[in-house]
């Protein structure tokens, strides 16, 4: 009998998210118009997500042990949720810079001065290369309403 546990549920969720991302990237972003469109790369990643979800699901059919969640592994999930929430509140770039600073200070135990220099360099590269050179518009979050 097939027993449902997180090892079997999470691959199905992964497949569903991949299908959702695929639908959005193909219908709303555009896959190919005179060359790769905005939905080209997301649709490829979505296909990989779905394939990996199917492979993982079939691999878990042989395994009936329960998944073990360690504190360090859950921190990655909490960080992802924090980045997602922070992007809507203060914007993408400030959220990533705060995340980078906290990671350097808390986990890598780097001094605040060196951490600040690394974050400043990361900000210059992010805004210079992606913002100015490539013209990528980052989500500004709720601060966009106040800053203008």
Residue keyed to tokens 């360090």: 72
Task: Tell me the pTM.
Answer: 0.61
Q: Residues 67-85: pLDDT tens digits?
A: 787 888 888 889 999 999 9
Q: Could you tell me if 55 and 10 are in contact, meaning their C-beta atoms sit under 8 angstroms apart?
A: no
143-148 average pLDDT score: 69
Give 32's strand partners: 36
Residue keyed to tokens 């959005």: 24
17-42 average pLDDT score: 87
Most confident of 36-40, 58-62, 117-121, 131-135: 117-121
Predicted confidence band at 148 (pLDDT cuts at 50, 70, 90)? low
Altogether, the residues listed in the chain come to a count of 148
Predicted confidence band at 139 (pLDDT cuts at 50, 70, 90)? confident
DSSP state of 35: S
Q: Of 13-22, 25-34, 52-61, which gets the smallest average pLDDT?
A: 25-34
């Amino acid at each position: 009998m097939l027993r449902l546990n997180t090892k079997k549920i999470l691959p199905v969720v992964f497949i569903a998210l991949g299908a959702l991302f695929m639908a959005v990237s193909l219908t709303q972003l555009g896959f190919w118009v005179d060359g790769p469109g905005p939905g080209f790369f997301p649709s490829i990643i979505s296909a990989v997500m779905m394939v990996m979800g199917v492979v993982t699901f079939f691999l878990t059919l042989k395994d009936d042990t329960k998944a073990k969640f360690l504190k360090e592994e859950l921190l990655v999930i909490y960080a992802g949720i924090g980045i997602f929430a922070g992007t809507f509140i203060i914007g993408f770039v400030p959220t990533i810079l705060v995340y980078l600073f906290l990671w350097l200070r808390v986990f890598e135990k780097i001094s605040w001065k060196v951490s600040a220099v690394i974050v400043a360099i990361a900000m210059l590269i992010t805004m210079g290369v992606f913002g100015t050179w490539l013209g990528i518009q980052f989500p500004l979050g709720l601060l966009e309403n106040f800053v203008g």
